[in-house]
Structure 1
Amino acid sequence: MGKLQDKVVIITGGAGGIGSGMAKAMVKEGAIVTIVDLNEETGKAMEKELQKISPKSMFLQANLIDRANLHKIIDTVVEKYGKLDVLVNNAHASKQATIEDTTQADLDLSFDTGFYPTFYLMQAALPHLKETKGNIINFASGAGIAGHETQGAYAAAKEAIRGISRVAANEWGRFGINVNLISPIANSPGVQAWAKAQPEYYEAVKNKIPMGRFGDVEDDIGRVAVFLASEDSQYITGQTLMVDGGSIMLH
């Protein structure tokens, strides 16, 4: 029996990167995972990989910008499996620009793919998570906590997600629901591409991480997600876990 045996999990942005790392870590602990993604090709490929371990797991194609249909993601999963135990809001897209050059379109992209889906999926999932005393895992970023340059739109949405997560933790703790955040640094495909394009800058950033490396999407980030989705974390809520090798030490 795994730590997440027969728990029904939704992971947005689950077809690649950190999302796929969490999905793989969770199915290995017995979870039934639905990965939600816009990209059908990568989504179907990840579905096949997950089903080798967890045959009931599936891929659901959805555009998270389509706010009116976000509840259908929750409805589809609950209709198929009869319950929902864990919601992981991982998907987020953004463009880098200085605050001076940030446009309304840049802000809209970040909030429409990050904050609003997180908010509305949490809202839609609430009745079902009340029944299971379930878990919500949202995603923060060092870009917002430390205020990284050229990340204004992304940082604003991420800090909004942190804010609403703390409110939900206070409001929903009475239902046995815990709401936490992961703030990661991970060796995702995007970071790997950046390492090839700007190797000197990549090495400089890596060398500033106290643990001297970028996290593995499955073994480092995914395992923390397993912990937050499991009974082991039942008395933790409203917290931001810095899964970043010590890059930012909250106090």
Structure 2
Amino acid sequence: MGKLQGKVAIITGGAGGIGSGMATAFVKEGAKVAIVDLNEEAGKKTVEKLQEYQPECMFIQANLMEHDKLAGVVKQVADQLGTIDILVNNAHASKMASIEDTTQKEMDLSFNTGFYPTFYFMQAALPYLKETKGKIINFASGAGIKGDVNQGSYAAAKEAIRGITRVAANEFGPYGINVNIISPIAKSEGMIQWAEANPEYYQRMLSGIPLRRAGEIEEDIGRVAVFLASEDSDYITGQTIMVDGGSIQLR
């Protein structure tokens, strides 16, 4: 029996990167995973791999900027898979720019793909999570915690997610629902491409990580997500878990 045996999980942005790593870690522990992503081709390929472990996994193509449709996505998962035990709000898109050069369009992109979907998915999933005493995992970033330059729109949305997560932890706690955050550094496809294009900067980044490496999407990030999604974390809520090799050590 896996740690998540029989549990139903929604993972946004699950078609690739950290999302697919978490999805793989979840199905290996017995979960049924619904991937929600805009990329249909990648989503279907990922689900095919997941179904080798758990045939009931599913893919839903959705544009997370269409906020009025997100409750319908949650209902579709619950109707098809029976319930919802775990919600993972992982998806987020943004563009780098200095504060001076950041436009309203860039702010809207970050909030409309990151903060607002996190909020609306939590809202829509709450009735189901009350029944299952479920788990919510949201995603933050060192860009917001440290204030990385040229990351104004991204950092702002990520810190807004941290704020709403703490509120949700306090509001949902009486229902037995845990709400936590992962702030990762991970060797996703995007990071690999960035490292190849910026090798010197990448090596400088690694030198600032005590463990001297970026995390593996399944073995490092995915396993922590399994912990937060399982009964092992039942007495942890409202916390930001830094899964970044020690890069940021919160006080």
- TM-score class normalised by the smaller sequence: over 0.9
Within-5 A mapping of 1:20-169: 20-169=20-169
Question: Which amino acid in 2 is paired with 1:155?
Answer: A
C-alpha offsets along residues 95-140 of structure 1, whole Å, 9 cap, x if unaligned?
0000000000000000000000000000000000000000000000
* Counterpart in the other structure of 2:186: 186
Question: Which amino acid in 1 is paired with 2:190?
Answer: G
* Counterpart in the other structure of 1:247: 247
* Counterpart in the other structure of 1:216: 216
Question: Which amino acid in 2 is paired with 1:62?
Answer: A
Question: Which amino acid in 1 is paired with 2:221?
Answer: I
Give, in whole Å, the separation in 1 of the partners of 2:7 and 2:35.
14
Question: Which amino acid in 2 is paired with 1:236?
Answer: I
Give, in whole Å, the separation in 2 of the partners of 1:235 and 1:47.
32
Give, in whole Å, the separation in 2 of the partners of 1:10 and 1:172.
18
Partner SS for 1:60:
strand
Give, in whole Å, the separation in 1 of the partners of 2:206 and 2:60.
35
Partner SS for 1:36:
strand
> Percent identity at matched positions?
69
Partner SS for 1:99:
coil
Partner SS for 1:242:
strand
- Alpha-carbon shift at residue 45 of structure 1 (Å): 0.3
- Structure 1 unaligned blocks of 5 or more: none
* Counterpart in the other structure of 1:177: 177
Partner SS for 2:101:
coil
TM-score w.r.t. structure 2 length?
A: 1.00
Give, in whole Å, the separation in 1 of the partners of 2:50 and 2:210.
33
C-alpha offsets along residues 166-208 of structure 1, whole Å, 9 cap, x if unaligned?
0000011000000000000000101100111111111111111
Question: Which amino acid in 2 is paired with 1:180?
Answer: N
* Counterpart in the other structure of 2:204: 204
Give, in whole Å, the separation in 2 of the partners of 1:125 and 1:54.
22
Question: Which amino acid in 1 is paired with 2:10?
Answer: I
Give, in whole Å, the separation in 2 of the partners of 1:58 and 1:68.
21
* Counterpart in the other structure of 1:19: 19
Give, in whole Å, the separation in 1 of the partners of 2:65 and 2:161.
16
Give, in whole Å, the separation in 2 of the partners of 1:142 and 1:200.
20
TM-score w.r.t. structure 1 length?
A: 1.00
- Alpha-carbon shift at residue 73 of structure 1 (Å): 1.0
Partner SS for 1:150:
coil
